[in-house]
Each structure stands twice: as C-alpha cells, then as structure tokens.
Chains A and B, each alone.
Chain A
Amino acid sequence: KAGVTQTPRYLIKTRGQQVTLSCSPISGHRSVSWYQQTPGQGLQFLFEYFSETQRNKGNFPGRFSGRQFSNSRSEMNVSTLELGDSALYLCASSGGGSAIDNEQFFGPGTRLTVL
C-alpha cells in the first residue's frame, strides 16, 4: 500500500503570495489532517477533513484554508504569505471512523520557505 504523498516537497515563495499544497492519503482513508511544524512552536494542528467536510480546526488565522475532494485527496491553501509561515507542513491520513484505534499516517511534508 502506498503511503501518504505530499506535493511539492519544497517550495519557495515571497511575502504576499499565496500557495497551495497537496496531499494524497493512503488508499481507503477518508480523514486527512494538516499540521504545521516550526522550530519555535513545534507541531501544531491546522485542520482535519473527513468526507469532504472540515471536522476539526486549530487556532490559525483565516488565511489558512483547506478542502477535500471526493477521492479524499486534500489541498491546503495559505493566502497573503508572511515570513512566519515558513514551516514544514505535514499531512496525515486515517481511516476516519470513530474508533480510537485509528492511528494517523503522516506524509514526508512540504517545506515552505517565505522570503
């Protein structure tokens, strides 16, 4: 079974631009979560999508948004980029059912640098 894939792996943008990151979950997984990892704040939850609906949301400004498609693939968008948005963005997929045994499988991440 192929793992979680994220594209692109590396991205360089300038302040004020917008960016879209993509995540393909493990086949059959319906839940996709996004996390931001920075040296200062560590790993922080952004949001989670399940069956094309946002089910959970972290404490990030509205510039961060996402969506999920019918095939469970997900995209994350950041508008009006700021220097502080430079981070590793991680996507995780899970079966999505209510059982606590649904572990999350993480992708390798997209390294975003904002200049």
Chain B
Amino acid sequence: DAKTTQPNSMESNEEEPVHLPCNHSTISGTDYIHWYRQLPSQGPEYVIHGLTSNVNNRMASLAIAEDRKSSTLILHRATLRDAAVYYCILRESSGGSNYKLTFGKGTLLTVNP
C-alpha cells in the first residue's frame, strides 16, 4: 500500500483556518486521497476525498498538488469540535480492496479557545 506522511501534531486557534498537510510521494495514478478524522472516544468519520481536482464540502476543502504527491486538508474556521486526529489515506479506485483503509499515525489537531 502506498504510504502517507503527516505531522504528528498541529495547533490552531478557534475561528482561524487550519491547513493539515499530507505527503504521498508514491501515490499511483488510480489512488484517491481520503481524509478521515477521529474525535476523542469515537470511531473515525469521513471528511472528504479527491483524485486530482480540489474539492469542497460542508466540512472542509481538499487542495491537491498538481503532481499529486501531496495534499492539504483545509478547515476554514476551526472550532473546538474540530479537535481530533486527522488521517490522510490513499485508496485504490477499483476492486474490492478499496474497502481496506490503511491508516497511518495521523495528525493530532489541538484547537485553542
């Protein structure tokens, strides 16, 4: 499985934007980039995913580098409820194995009031 590299931790202030980076230099052409987050004492939850173009949804934005070797999850205005571990995951685009999520260590985001 292609690997991702994320900073162990990041800190932000409430109401400010947060940019969470992810490096995936060995990404293949058919891999999608997914982000999940895990709030304290909960199971992971889906945040966003993309292939080549930048993506926006109600939770966040995903900016993908032109060479696809890195991406950035953007939380436009961090709230205390966004404090969680954020996981950047590569998923194969086809075949049954795309249901296997390979989690790295993730980035622990702390949001200060």
Contacts and interface: CB of A to CB of B under 8 A. Distances in A.
B96 A55 contact: yes
B68 interface: no
Contacts of B34: 103
Nearest to B34: A103
Contacts, number: 67
Contacts of B97: 56
Interface in B79-113: 87, 91, 93-106
B100 A90 contact: no
A26 interface: no
Given A100-B32, A105-B46, A106-B44, A33 B96 contact: no
Contact of A33 (B42, B87, B99, B104): B99
Interface in B25-56: 32, 34, 36, 42-46, 49
Contact of A42 (B36, B49, B100, B104): B104
A56 B43 contact: no
Contacts of A56: 96-97, 99-100
B98 A100 contact: yes
Closest 10 A-B residue pairs measured CB to CB? A106-B43, A43-B103, A103-B46, A55-B96, A56-B100, A48-B99, A45-B100, A90-B43, A106-B44, A100-B93
